[in-house]
C-alpha cells in the first residue's frame, strides 16, 4: 500500500502558561521530543524532522502589497515547529500525532495531508 505524506504543525496557545520556565524543564521536554522523533524514525513514519520556528515572521497578502509582521495579535496560538510524516491515511496520521509530547503541556498538532502533484 502506498504511503501518503502529512505535515504536522506543532501549536501552543499564545497565552499558554505552559511555556518552558527553566533550563531543567526545557531539557525534560527536549528529551521527550527526541525520544518521540526517534520512535517515529524507527517505525518508518518520519520523512522530514523539521525545525523549531521563531515567533517573528510576516504574512504577505494582496500580491505583496500588504505585509503584516509577527508575532500576530490576532493569532490564538504559536506554531512551534513542523515535521513531515508518512502514513497510510489521515486516520493513521492522526493516531501517530496522538503521541506527540506537545499534547502533554496543552499544545496541539495540526495534521495536514500533502497533496502529491
Q: What is the CATH number of the domain that holds 98?
A: 3.30.70.1060
| 26-55 tens-digit pLDDT | 888 899 999 999 999 999 999 999 988 887
Given pLDDT bands bounded at 50, 70 and 90, which one contains residue 13?
confident
DSSP 116: P
C-alpha cell at position 4: 501518503
Q: Are 12 and 106 in contact (CB under 8 A)?
A: yes
C-alpha 14/C-alpha 103 separation (Å) is: 15
Percent of the chain scored above 70 by pLDDT?
A: 85
Overall number of domains in the chain: 1
Range of the domain at 85: 4-113
pLDDT of residue 58: 75
The phi, psi pair for 116, rounded to 5°, reads -85, 130
C-alpha cell at position 46: 518520519
Q: Are 112 and 83 in contact (CB under 8 A)?
A: no
Q: What is the mean pLDDT of residues 4-9?
A: 97
C-alpha cell at position 116: 502529491
| 47-79 tens-digit pLDDT | 999 988 887 777 777 776 666 566 555 567 888
pLDDT of residue 21: 67
Amino acid at each position: 500500500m502506498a504511503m501518503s505524506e502529512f505535515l504536522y504543525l506543532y501549536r501552543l496557545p499564545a497565552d499558554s502558561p505552559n511555556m518552558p520556565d527553566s533550563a531543567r524543564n526545557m531539557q525534560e521536554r527536549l528529551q521527550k521530543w527526541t525520544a518521540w522523533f526517534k520512535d517515529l524514525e524507527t517505525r518508518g513514519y518520519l520523512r522530514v524532522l523539521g525545525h523549531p520556528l521563531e515567533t517573528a515572521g510576516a504574512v504577505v497578502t494582496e500580491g505583496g502589497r500588504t505585509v503584516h509582521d509577527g508575532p500576530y495579535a490576532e493569532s490564538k496560538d504559536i506554531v512551534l515547529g513542523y515535521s513531515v510524516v508518512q502514513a497510510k491515511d489521515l486516520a493513521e496520521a492522526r493516531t501517530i500525532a496522538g503521541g506527540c509530547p506537545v499534547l502533554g503541556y496543552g499544545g496541539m498538532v495540526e495534521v495536514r495531508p500533502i497533496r502529491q502533484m
